């Protein structure tokens, strides 16, 4: 089925007409009234069908695309039927309070339904592009490229790694120009009234100028810090002239093949303004580190976006610029005055402006830039608040749903991406709504148990089934809920501010590379303690209600289950708030290279790398014997440099039982420093392999079990932590008393 | 033509015979519960009502009780007290050596009163003189209600027959009539037989409330033959004077009075036959006096006592009570019948009524008058539900009954609100509770545990409306009042202070509902007369008979339908037509066809699962093995919808049994009922059985067969269900249709989902190809 039918599609207008007619008829059927028993019966069959279709939609199946669409249509139909039923039959209220509660819940459900349907459209047919290369293209034909690294307050160490990696990009050197765009050393900063800040800015400027000189790249700064990152890049665009522009965040280290894999798409189609690649995070974000401790085994948060959604958006010609790790065409950028700066998510806004002009974007699904995720929960929230506010600004200021020049599917793509960020409204409602019934006795959900079984449960189950089918490899079950709960309280406040004053929010740089030298409870934890207390109160009120009101026990049990699910998720997120000490400054990722280790005495060992970071490596040595020397040279093939490299290392530890050796890189020359970067960070194959390893297919129940089992520990950890603090205080008081 | 002679004063003054009659009733005739009642604990009691028609005087009554008591009871402190209208009429001591006893208790005649008389059995039971545990299992006694009897000698007390006495004749109590003859001229107008006779029957049956009333249609000829006299005796010969007296009597009942049918025990109580003559003044002139005929100026109703005719000591024609329904035209007669159907007898202390006009006599209005309308709030008192007050220790119950439209249909999540006003006094002990049940579904329980008592106003219960059903609905308030514990061994607090009261200002708020019902459903038909009687509208319906031999059955059924609908069915007609010449549109609407297999052969039944013709097509239960296995396994005695797949065609007669079936009407979106027996006589007998209290309540399924009045021989649901309802609410009809046929929905859903998926797939593949081609 996958291979032939498209040949028959001669007249799409007829097909679209038939599709619209069938959709109207399906809508009528979904609207048609039928008692709950009949609906329950139909729901069961539909759920069984979705389950079967999901299996057939796996990428190994011959008719995967058809069954994927069939499952999506079935799921969408169940959701539509549910919302129609809710709207037509269940919005009963008795007073103004229940009226408000009933409608708040329904609006939240409509929101969830709309995002679910938009998501189904976006992800119906993810586009898989072939891997192109410049190998066969005449070098003379290649366009010149400006690599721009905007910086504001990042450490020089981080910047230097990025610069070294940019320097070894596999591209003709006469066509590659690297620029450091310093916004921390602008004239405005240097002349600031705060003398300390001005001195620091001045020092930063001279340090960075020295760094640029050392690496023979261009240093740029400007007079004023206008329009944040967008203004910084636009200022540099005015002072450069290459055909293409690469934008790399300060911590975003490119692999050597970045241009080799992206420039061909610019050459193939003059209409392409953007080639976006995934942001590969080389370290776990606070959720991954604190909660799951499974950074190398389960998909990262952004794997879902870059591994699935961007591919879906790419199919619909609406993959968008993500601020970094992207190649852009100068000519097109100049048409819209450079990077747009009306919102604080300048990247998506710029893409929207160029899509509106009819230009095209390309998404290459190969991780070729490794960056740093925010280390602390505080930084993580700060980053997400900016994204949420920025996307909402685009919604309010640019109105992509009616933007001229966009195709209908591009509008769907943008609205899907933007509406997602309004989740805090719905999530807070879903969290607190059980209280309306359990605590305040408001009947917000006017339905019988049978109807809940016939409409609500199938809708929820179908939503999870569809989500597992679409994102099962890149997002484990319940992970989305945990991320949303973590963010909702803070981003809700930020979103309300945007709705009140859409132009008010300003760009805040996400702190990166923060060190965690001790375990501590995040200062943002208080709101979650309160939420847990409130939900616990609702739980006990529910127990009382169950005992004292036998008439409504069915409903009470349902609402208590709902509340219990929320409570479980809230308890789970406590773990994220316990910021764990980070032992290594850089995270080590799995690696499999063959290595030879030579000591100064000429002894040599052969082994295989186990993991690797820019700071060091761990390897399993082959053969017997002990390593006595502290210093050694590690020889291995470096794909980025296309040659063997000999890296000096310091031996840290040798486990003779397991033959595991831990070493630290100790480069002393510029060449050795660059070789370490080239070996550790500039090989995209390693990122690919790592990503494939953790985006494996798992069953829904396995994922849910894992996530929930991990989630049960944090409450205890918080409790122990509180005990520890209390213990210390008591012992301190006792000792003071003794004194 | 026989001349009407002037009325003779002598004959008017001639007293008619008043015969005392003795009848014996089982107590189960007055008690709807189990045939054996068990009284438990230290003190227990049970009340039941014995109705007595107002026209009846009880001359003598004896209660014979069959009682068994526990052998553990001690003699001096254990006894059964029998009270009648709260007066103690007997005390029966329980003797452990003689646990089984039969005791006769006379009921003084002066204690009887019109209407409901309360018979109370009250026991006090002890196994020791001290420290008796009230919940001890050995404290029991039983009264066998089936074996216990009430023997009554009664007589008719009517000496001046006016309309206010009419509901004494037609009364569910002892002495009320259980059958009546409707008499018309032989060549009566079609309109009278088609719609008026039925309406008269219904009017009388409605007065009988729940007790069935069999109707018999009789005719008189213009001419008559004088009965033969015993000419051997002197003075026994026809003279002009005696002929005049003969004509003043109810001479036309001479044949039927000896053929009095007795349906049940209560029917035997009649002491004087009452009959009704129906027709225009001209057609009734042979049997009415000139004075009466001359007084008929329009729709006319009259009650009178016909003088007896006797010669010497021989009573040839007894005196009878006669109700005249007449008028100058057939419309007048019908109008008089309508008035009879709606009039309040009590305020008409007169014997003659001429109806000048009436309004509000639309069928659709009358049929919904006693039915609670959806989307309306009613106080209990609006529904005729009185307040309840319970005192002392014990278990009490208050039933609030009300009628809903037969086609009451609500969505799954609709709810009905009960706003209760009730309270209880101080000093309740542990175990004092109130349970609320809606149609036997427990919906709420409340412990009455506030030591200071409590009063609730608008205590709101939100009950799923699916607990309500079309027809009669019951809300039961079961209250148990217990005295507080004394806290000292063998000491008890008396419960005389305990009180609970439920106010009639309590309200029920009904949700909006549609008017759609699943058919065929004989249970719904039996309970509400649906679809012949409806709430929202009153479309024409008919009972079709192949000959006048079936008229009695048709009248009896129409009377029963009026009783279950609680209103006269003004649009119900009885069509006497040969079935072979019956036009197809004659059965349009809801219709009941009466007939024999031979006559029904003319009715097109090929579309039905079962067919009652000379050649019969039966859907035997055994042809659906699975159903029967499951039913036997689960001991399911209900008659839930079951579809029988096969049938057998055979040649045989129906024997003594009758068959009542219901089918989708092939001529209209309605239900067609077929009621058949082998002969018209058998059908009359079976209809008498069918309308009896015991059999009518067992109507169920869509195939009902019976051959006596005890229990049906077979009840099945053999047809596909379908829905009928009000055409203006297509949405609800659609809902019901889809609910009954989810497969249709599912098939449509699957086809559309598959089509949409395929179209989307083709379009997406096309786009994908286009994108790939651009690489």
Domain limits, chain A: 5-122+422-579, 139-373, 589-694
| pLDDT score for B60 | 93
| pLDDT score for A284 | 81
**Mean of pLDDT over chain A:** 87
Count CB-CB contacts under 10 A for residue A170: 19
Concatenated DSSP letters of B605-663? -TTSSSB-SSEEEE--GGGSHHHHHHHHHHT--S---------EEEE---TT-EEEEEE
A683 is catalytic: no
Are B412 and A550 within 8 A, CB to CB?
no
Tens of pLDDT, residues B544-594: 998 999 999 999 999 999 999 989 999 999 998 876 677 767 777 889 999
State how far residue B471 is from chain A, nearest Cα, in angstroms.
21
Q: Could you give the CA distance from residue B128 to residue B78 in angstroms, rounded to a whole number?
A: 10
| B471 Rama class: left (phi>0) / alpha (psi -120 to 50) / beta | left
Dihedral sign of CA atoms B124, B128, B134, B138 in order: negative
Are A315 and B765 within 8 A, CB to CB?
no
Count CB-CB contacts under 10 A for residue A632: 24
User: What are phi and psi for residue B326, nearest 5 degrees?
Assistant: -150, -175
Which ranges of A445-505 would DSSP assign to H, the alpha helix?
449-451, 457-471, 479-500
Tens of pLDDT, residues B339-391: 999 999 999 999 999 999 888 888 888 888 889 999 899 999 999 999 999 99
| pLDDT score for B624 | 47
Residue A8 banded pLDDT, cuts 50, 70, 90: very low
| pLDDT score for B723 | 80
Are A19 and B764 within 8 A, CB to CB?
no
Q: Is B744 on the interface with A (CB under 8 A)?
A: no
Catalytic residue among A182, A183, A257, A260: A183
ipTM above 0.90, yes or no: no
Q: Could you give the CA distance from residue B740 to residue A224 in angstroms, rounded to a whole number?
A: 74
**Mean of pLDDT over chain B:** 84
Residue A415 banded pLDDT, cuts 50, 70, 90: very high
| Closest partner CB to A19 (pick from B443, B738, B759) | B759
Residue pair B175/B269 in contact by the 8 Å Cβ criterion: yes
**Close Cβ partners of B627 (under 8 Å, ≥ 6 residues apart):** B621, B642, B644
User: What are phi and psi for residue B450, nearest 5 degrees?
Assistant: -80, 120
HEC assignment per residue over B508-561: EECCCCEEEEEECCHHHHHHHCCCCCCCCCCCCEEEEECCHHHHHHHHHHHHHH
- Range with lowest mean pLDDT among A121-135, A499-513, A682-696, B1-15: B1-15
The residue among B697, B683, B387, B748 whose CA lies nearest residue B564 is: B697
Residue pair B276/B197 in contact by the 8 Å Cβ criterion: no
Under CATH, to which class is A589-694 assigned?
mainly beta
Q: Could you give the CA distance from residue B144 to residue A382 in angstroms, rounded to a whole number?
A: 84
Q: Please give the share of chain B, as a percent, with pLDDT higher than 90.
A: 49
Work out the burial of residue B393: count CB atoms within 10 Å of its CB; fewer than 13 is exposed, 13-18 middle, 19 or more buried: buried
Place of tokens 């349970």: B435
User: What are phi and psi for residue B491, nearest 5 degrees?
Assistant: -125, 140
Are A34 and B735 within 8 A, CB to CB?
yes
The answer to whether residue A662 scores a pLDDT higher than 60 is: yes
Q: How is the beta sheet containing A176-182 ordered, strand by strand?
A: A218-220, A176-182, A145-151, A244-247, A326-329, A272-276, A360-363
Residue B215 banded pLDDT, cuts 50, 70, 90: very high
- What are the E-state strand segments in A613-730? 616-621, 631-638, 643-655, 660-665
Q: Could you give the CA distance from residue A305 to residue A359 in angstroms, rounded to a whole number?
A: 22
Q: Could you give the CA distance from residue B756 to residue B77 in angstroms, rounded to a whole number?
A: 84
Tens of pLDDT, residues B717-746: 777 788 887 655 677 778 778 887 888 898
State how far residue B740 is from chain A, nearest Cα, in angstroms.
8
A254 versus A291: which is more confidently predicted?
A254
Q: Is B760 on the interface with A (CB under 8 A)?
A: yes
Q: Is B730 on the interface with A (CB under 8 A)?
A: no
A73 versus A715: which is more confidently predicted?
A73
Tens of pLDDT, residues A192-230: 999 999 999 999 999 999 999 999 999 999 999 888 889
Q: Please give the share of chain A, as a percent, with pLDDT higher than 90.
A: 55
Tens of pLDDT, residues B420-473: 999 999 999 999 999 999 999 888 888 999 999 999 998 988 888 889 988 889
The answer to whether residue A608 scores a pLDDT higher than 70 is: yes
Q: Which residue of B lies nearest to A75 if distances are taken between CA atoms?
A: B753
What is the 3-state composition of chain A as percent helix, strand, coil, each rounded to the nearest 5? 55, 15, 30
**Selection from A248-262, B264-278, B534-548, B725-739 with the highest mean pLDDT:** A248-262
Residue A416 banded pLDDT, cuts 50, 70, 90: very high
| pLDDT score for B610 | 67
A347 is catalytic: yes
Long-range pairs of B99-105 with CB within 8 A, sequence gap ≥ 24:
B99/B68, B99/B69, B99/B70, B99/B71, B100/B67, B100/B68, B101/B67, B101/B68, B101/B69, B102/B64, B102/B65, B102/B66, B102/B67, B103/B64, B103/B65, B103/B67, B104/B62, B104/B63, B104/B64, B104/B65, B105/B62, B105/B63, B105/B64, B105/B65
Average pLDDT over residues A101-130: 94
* Orientation of helix A553-577 relative to helix A526-548, angle to 10°: 160
What is the 3-state composition of chain B as percent helix, strand, coil, each rounded to the nearest 5? 25, 35, 40
Place of tokens 């604990």: B41
Q: Which residue of B lies nearest to A30 if distances are taken between CA atoms?
A: B749
The answer to whether residue A576 scores a pLDDT higher than 50 is: yes
| Closest partner CB to B765 (pick from A6, A41, A77) | A6
Work out the burial of residue A323: count CB atoms within 10 Å of its CB; fewer than 13 is exposed, 13-18 middle, 19 or more buried: buried
Q: CA A739 → CA A727, A728, A730, B481, distances in Å?
A: 18, 16, 14, 70
The answer to whether residue A50 scores a pLDDT higher than 70 is: yes
Residue pair A255/A239 in contact by the 8 Å Cβ criterion: no
Average pLDDT over residues B158-169: 90
Q: Could you give the CA distance from residue B283 to residue B326 in angstroms, rounded to a whole number?
A: 9
The residue among B388, B450, B397 whose CA lies nearest residue B425 is: B450
| pLDDT score for B761 | 94
HEC assignment per residue over A349-416: HHHHHHHHCCCEEEECCCCCEEECCCCCHHHHHHHHHHHHHHHHHHHHHHCHHHCCCCCHHHHHHHHH
A651 versus A713: which is more confidently predicted?
A651
The answer to whether residue B249 scores a pLDDT higher than 90 is: no
CA angle A691, A692, A693 (to 5 degrees): 90
State how far residue A15 is from chain B, nearest Cα, in angstroms.
6
| pLDDT score for B463 | 87
Average pLDDT over residues A312-316: 95
The answer to whether residue A704 scores a pLDDT higher than 50 is: yes
C-alpha R_g of chain B? 31
Residue B34 banded pLDDT, cuts 50, 70, 90: confident
What the block records as the tokens of A32 is 């048609």
Predicted TM-score of the model (pTM):
0.70
Tens of pLDDT, residues B91-113: 999 999 999 999 999 999 999 99
The answer to whether residue A239 scores a pLDDT higher than 50 is: yes
Are B755 and A36 within 8 A, CB to CB?
no
Residue B265 banded pLDDT, cuts 50, 70, 90: very low
3-class SS of residue B368: coil
**Selection from A568-582, B218-232, B241-255, B442-456 with the highest mean pLDDT:** B442-456
The answer to whether residue B334 scores a pLDDT higher than 80 is: yes
Q: Could you give the CA distance from residue A264 to residue A269 in angstroms, rounded to a whole number?
A: 9
A553 versus B302: which is more confidently predicted?
B302
The answer to whether residue A15 scores a pLDDT higher than 90 is: no
Per DSSP, B484 falls in state P
Q: Is B761 on the interface with A (CB under 8 A)?
A: yes
Residue B328 banded pLDDT, cuts 50, 70, 90: very high
The answer to whether residue B223 scores a pLDDT higher than 80 is: no
Strands B394-404 and B408-409: unpaired
Q: Could you give the CA distance from residue B580 to residue B604 in angstroms, rounded to a whole number?
A: 10
Are B466 and A448 within 8 A, CB to CB?
yes
| Closest partner CB to A6 (pick from B745, B748, B762) | B762
| Closest partner CB to B769 (pick from A6, A29, A36) | A6
| pLDDT score for B258 | 42
The answer to whether residue A19 scores a pLDDT higher than 50 is: yes
Residue B6 banded pLDDT, cuts 50, 70, 90: very low
* DSSP run (H or E) holding B317: strand B314-317
Q: Could you give the CA distance from residue A209 to residue A215 in angstroms, rounded to a whole number?
A: 10
| pLDDT score for B1 | 35
Average pLDDT over residues A494-503: 91
- CATH H-level, domain A139-373: superfamily: Spore Coat Polysaccharide Biosynthesis Protein SpsA; Chain A (3.90.550.10)
Q: Which residue of A lies nearest to B738 if distances are taken between CA atoms?
A: A34
Residue B475 banded pLDDT, cuts 50, 70, 90: very high
* Orientation of helix B551-565 relative to helix B197-207, angle to 10°: 50
The answer to whether residue B321 scores a pLDDT higher than 80 is: yes
């Amino acid at each position: 089925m996958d291979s032939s039918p498209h040949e028959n599609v001669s007249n799409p207008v007829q097909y679209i007409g038939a599709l619209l007619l069938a959709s109207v008829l399906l809508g009528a059927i979904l609207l048609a009234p039928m008692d709950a028993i009949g609906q329950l019966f139909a729901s069961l069959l539909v759920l069984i069908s979705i389950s079967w279709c999901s299996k057939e939609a796996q990428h190994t199946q011959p008719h995967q695309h058809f069954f994927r669409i069939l499952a999506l249509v079935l799921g969408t139909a169940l959701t539509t039927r549910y919302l129609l039923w809710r709207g037509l039959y269940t919005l009963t209220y008795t007073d103004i309070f229940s009226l408000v509660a009933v409608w708040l819940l329904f609006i939240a459900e409509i929101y969830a339904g709309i995002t679910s349907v938009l998501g189904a459209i976006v992800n119906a047919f993810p586009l898989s592009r072939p891997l192109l290369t410049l190998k066969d293209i005449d070098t003379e034909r290649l366009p010149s490229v400006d690599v721009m690294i905007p910086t504001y307050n990042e450490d020089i160490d981080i910047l230097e790694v990025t610069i070294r990696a940019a320097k070894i990009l596999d591209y003709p050197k006469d066509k590659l120009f690297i620029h450091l765009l310093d916004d921390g050393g602008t004239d405005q900063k240097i002349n600031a009234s705060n003398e300390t800040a001005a001195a620091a800015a001045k020092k930063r400027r001279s340090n960075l100028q020295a760094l640029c000189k050392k690496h023979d790249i261009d240093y740029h700064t400007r007079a004023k810090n206008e329009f944040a990152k967008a203004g910084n890049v636009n200022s540099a665009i005015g002072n450069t002239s290459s055909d293409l522009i690469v934008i790399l965040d300060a911590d975003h280290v490119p692999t050597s093949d970045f241009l080799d894999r992206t420039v061909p798409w610019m050459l193939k189609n003059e209409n392409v303004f953007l080639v976006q690649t995934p942001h590969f995070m080389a370290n776990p974000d606070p959720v991954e580190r604190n909660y799951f401790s499974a950074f190398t085994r389960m998909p990262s948060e952004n794997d879902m976006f870059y591994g699935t959604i961007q591919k879906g958006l790419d199919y619909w010609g609406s993959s968008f610029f993500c601020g970094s790790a992207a190649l852009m065409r100068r000519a097109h950028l100049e048409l819209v005055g450079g990077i747009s700066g009306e919102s604080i998510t300048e990247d998506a806004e710029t893409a929207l402006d160029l899509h509106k002009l009819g230009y095209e974007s390309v998404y290459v699904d190969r991780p070729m830039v490794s960056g740093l995720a925010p280390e602390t929960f505080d930084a993580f929230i700060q980053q997400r608040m900016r994204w949420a506010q920025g996307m909402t600004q685009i919604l309010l200021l640019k109105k992509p749903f009616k933007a001229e020049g966009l195709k209908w599917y591009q509008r769907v793509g943008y609205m899907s991406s933007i509406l997602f960020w309004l989740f805090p409204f719905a999530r807070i409602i879903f969290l607190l709504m059980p209280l309306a019934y359990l605590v305040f006795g408001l009947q917000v959900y006017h339905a019988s148990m049978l109807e809940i079984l016939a409409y609500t449960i199938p809708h929820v189950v179908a939503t999870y089934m569809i989500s597992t089918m679409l994102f099962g490899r890149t997002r484990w079950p319940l992970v989305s809920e945990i991320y949303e709960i973590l963010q909702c309280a803070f981003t809700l406040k930020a979103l309300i501010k945007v709705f009140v004053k859409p132009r008010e929010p300003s760009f805040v740089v996400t702190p990166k590379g923060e060190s965690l030298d001790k375990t501590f409870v995040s200062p943002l934890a208080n709101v979650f303690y309160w939420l847990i207390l409130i939900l616990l109160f609702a739980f006990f009120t529910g127990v009382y209600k169950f005992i004292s009101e036998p008439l409504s026990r069915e409903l009470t049990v349902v609402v208590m289950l709902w509340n219990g699910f929320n409570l479980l998720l809230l308890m789970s997120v406590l773990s994220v708030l316990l910021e764990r000490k980070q032992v290594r400054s850089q995270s080590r990722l799995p690696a499999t290279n063959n290595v030879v280790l030579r000591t100064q005495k000429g002894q040599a060992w052969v082994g295989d790398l186990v993991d690797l970071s820019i700071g060091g490596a761990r390897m399993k040595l082959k053969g017997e014997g002990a390593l006595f020397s502290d210093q050694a040279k590690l020889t291995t093939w470096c794909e980025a440099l296309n040659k063997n490299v000999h890296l000096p290392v310091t031996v840290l530890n040798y486990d003779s039982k397991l033959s595991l050796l831990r070493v630290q890189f100790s480069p002393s020359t510029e060449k050795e420093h660059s070789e370490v970067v080239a070996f550790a960070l500039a090989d995209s194959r390693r990122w690919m392999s790592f990503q494939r390893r953790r985006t494996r297919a798992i069953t829904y129940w396995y994922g849910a079990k894992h996530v929930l089992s991990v989630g049960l520990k944090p409450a205890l950890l918080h409790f122990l932590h509180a005990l520890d603090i209390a213990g210390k205080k008591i012992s301190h008081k006792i000792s003071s008393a003794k004194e | 033509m026989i001349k009407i002679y002037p009325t003779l004063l002598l004959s008017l003054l001639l007293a008619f015979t008043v015969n005392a009659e003795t009848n014996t009733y089982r107590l189960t005739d007055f008690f709807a519960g189990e045939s054996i009642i068990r009284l438990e604990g230290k003190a227990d009691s049970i009340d039941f009502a014995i109705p007595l028609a107002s026209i009846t005087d009880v001359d003598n009554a004896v209660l014979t009780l069959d009682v068994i008591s526990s052998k553990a009871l001690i003699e001096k402190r254990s006894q059964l007290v029998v009270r009648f209208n709260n007066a103690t009429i007997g005390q029966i001591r329980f003797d452990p050596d003689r646990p089984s006893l039969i005791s006769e208790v006379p009921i003084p005649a002066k204690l009887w009163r019109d209407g409901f008389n309360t018979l109370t059995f009250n026991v006090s039971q002890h196994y020791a003189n001290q420290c008796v545990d009230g919940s001890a299992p050995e404290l029991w006694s039983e009264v066998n209600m089936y074996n216990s009897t009430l023997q009554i000698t009664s007589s008719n007390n009517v000496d001046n027959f006016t309309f206010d006495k009419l509901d004494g004749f037609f009364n569910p109590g002892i002495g009320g009539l259980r059958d009546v003859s409707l008499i018309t001229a032989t060549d009566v107008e079609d309109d009278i037989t088609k719609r008026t006779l039925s309406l008269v029957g219904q009017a009388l049956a409605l007065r009988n409330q729940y007790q069935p009333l069999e109707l018999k249609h009789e005719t008189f000829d213009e001419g008559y033959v004088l009965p033969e006299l015993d000419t051997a005796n002197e003075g026994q010969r026809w003279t002009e004077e005696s002929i005049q007296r003969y004509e003043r009597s109810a001479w036309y009942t001479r044949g039927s009075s000896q053929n009095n049918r007795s349906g049940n025990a209560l029917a035997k109580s009649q002491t004087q036959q009452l009959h009704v003559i129906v027709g225009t003044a001209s057609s009734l002139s042979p049997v009415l006096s000139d004075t009466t005929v001359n007084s008929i100026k329009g729709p006319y109703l009259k009650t009178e006592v016909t003088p007896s005719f006797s010669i010497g000591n021989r009573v040839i024609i007894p005196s009878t009570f006669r109700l005249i329904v007449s008028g100058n035209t057939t419309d007048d007669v019908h109008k008089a019948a309508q008035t009879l159907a709606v009039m309040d007898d009590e305020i008409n202390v007169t014997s003659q009524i001429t109806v000048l006009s009436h309004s509000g006599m639309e069928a659709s209005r009358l049929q919904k008058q006693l039915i609670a309308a959806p989307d309306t709030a009613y106080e209990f008192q609006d529904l005729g539900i009185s307040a309840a007050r319970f005192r002392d220790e014990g278990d009490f119950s208050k039933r609030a009954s009300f009628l809903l439209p037969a086609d009451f249909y609500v969505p799954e999540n609709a709810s009905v609100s009960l706003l209760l006003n009730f309270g209880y006094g101080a000093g309740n002990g542990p175990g004092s509770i109130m349970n609320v049940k809606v149609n036997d579904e427990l919906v709420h329980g409340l412990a009455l545990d506030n030591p200071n008592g409590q009063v609730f106003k608008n205590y709101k219960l939100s009950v799923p409306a699916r607990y309500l059903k079309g027809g009669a609905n019951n809300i039961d308030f079961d209250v148990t009042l217990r005295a507080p514990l004394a806290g000292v061994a063998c000491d008890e607090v008396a419960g005389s202070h305990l009180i609970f009261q439920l106010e009639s200002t309590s309200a029920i708020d009904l949700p909006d509902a549609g008017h759609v019902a699943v058919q065929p459903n004989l249970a719904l038909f039996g309970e509400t007369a649906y679809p012949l009687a409806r709430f929202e509208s009153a479309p024409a319906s008919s009972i079709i008979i192949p000959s006048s031999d079936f008229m009695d059955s048709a009248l009896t059924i129409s009377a029963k339908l009026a009783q279950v609908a609680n209103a006269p069915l003004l649009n119900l007609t009885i069509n006497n037509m040969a079935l072979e010449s019956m036009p197809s549109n004659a059965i349009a609407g809801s219709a009941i066809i009466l007939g024999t297999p031979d006559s029904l052969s003319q009715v097109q039944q090929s579309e039905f699962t079962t067919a009652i013709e000379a050649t019969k097509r039966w859907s035997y239960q055994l042809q659906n093995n699975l159903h029967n296995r499951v039913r036997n396994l689960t001991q399911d005695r209900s008659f839930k919808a079951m579809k029988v797949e096969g049938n057998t065609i055979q040649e045989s007669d129906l024997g003594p049994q009758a068959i009542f079936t219901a089918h989708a009407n092939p001529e209209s979106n309605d239900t067609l009922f077929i009621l058949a027996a082998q002969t018209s006589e058998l059908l009359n007998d079976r209809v008498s059985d069918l309308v009896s209290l015991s059999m009518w309540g067992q109507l169920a399924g869509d195939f009902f067969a019976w051959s006596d009045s005890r229990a049906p021989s077979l009840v099945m649901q053999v047809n596909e269900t379908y829905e009928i309802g009000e055409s203006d609410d297509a949405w609800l009809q659609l809902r019901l249709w889809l609910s009954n046929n989810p497969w249709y929905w599912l098939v449509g859903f699957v086809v559309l989902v598959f089509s949409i998926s395929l179209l989307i797939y083709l379009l997406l593949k096309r786009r994908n190809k286009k994108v790939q081609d651009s690489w």
